[in-house]
Structure 1
Amino acid sequence: MKTIFEYHDVSQSDALETFTKEKLEPIFNRNEFIIRADIFFKIENTSSDETGKKCGIRLSAPGPRLFAESSKETFKDAVSDTIKELQSQIRKRKEQIKTY
């Protein structure tokens, strides 16, 4: 499984990469059909203090790619919300893949 990180207007963080990989590990262990993850971090200009740190994750799997993103106060919160959304999408994808 390959993991690629991209930063837009944000400096690279090894701690953030480690946190994200740890959060993604259960998804990769349970879903062997996922072959790659592209993770995007960027800061957006917002008027709210509760948003602005944006995380987007794109997973490569059979069929259309899975993508989710969220904007929160910290990158760790954004990663957690994004992964929750991806788990929901994976669950739906697995229902479609079931063989008969």
Structure 2
Amino acid sequence: MTINIQYQDMPTSESLNEIVTRNLNKLAHKFQFLIRADVLFKVENDPTGNGKICEVQLSAPGPRIFAKSNENNFEKAAAATLSDLNKQLQKRKEKISKRKKTL
């Protein structure tokens, strides 16, 4: 799986790169149908104290899978986004296996 990580309005972070890459590779190992991941970290002005945003878009057979989290730090945002993606991928895998059984 190809992983593209971008940073908008903030400096690049090697530690975030490592965390996201490691977790996306785990997802790719669990769900072999993944082709590509586009990750975007950005900062937005948020009066509630949040504003650290992580967006991930996955390319796989069928519609693209997207998740976004807005937290008070990037590690929490990445963890929440990856957790959401895992749930979506599990549902996609169940749909694929149901289709194979009916054929």
Question: Post-superposition shift, 1:15?
Answer: 1.3
Unaligned runs of 5+ in 1: none
Task: Compare CA radii of gyration and give the structure with the larger one.
Answer: 2
Q: TM-score, normalised by structure 1?
A: 0.95
Identify the range of structure 1 (13-22 vs 76-85) with the bigger mean alpha-carbon deviation. 13-22
For 1:10 and 1:72, how far apart are their aligned partners in 2? 16
In structure 2, what is the equivalent of residue 52 of structure 1? 51
- How far apart, CA to CA, are the structure 2 residues paired with 1:23 and 1:97? 23
SS at match of 1:39: strand
How many positions carry a matched residue from both structures? 99
Q: Match of 1:7?
A: 7
3-state DSSP of counterpart to 1:40: strand
Which residue is equivalent to 2:95?
96
Q: In structure 1, what residue type is equivalent to 2:41?
A: F
Q: Partners of 2:75 and 2:5 in 1: how far apart?
A: 14
1:46 Cα deviation from its structure 2 partner: 0.6
Unaligned runs of 5+ in 2: none
CA RMSD of aligned residues (A): 0.8
TM superposition outliers: structure 1 runs of 4+ over 6 Å: none
Letter in 2 for 1:45: N
Partner of residue 23, structure 1: 23
- Distance in 1 (CA, whole Å) between partners of 2:83 and 2:30 is 15
| CA displacement, residues 11-64 of structure 1 (integer Å, 9 cap, x when unaligned) | 111111011111222101111100110000000111011x11000001100000
Identity of aligned residues (%): 38
Instruction: For residue 32 of structure 1, give the secondary structure of its aligned residue in structure 2.
Output: coil
> Tell me, what secondary structure is at the counterpart of 1:27?
helix
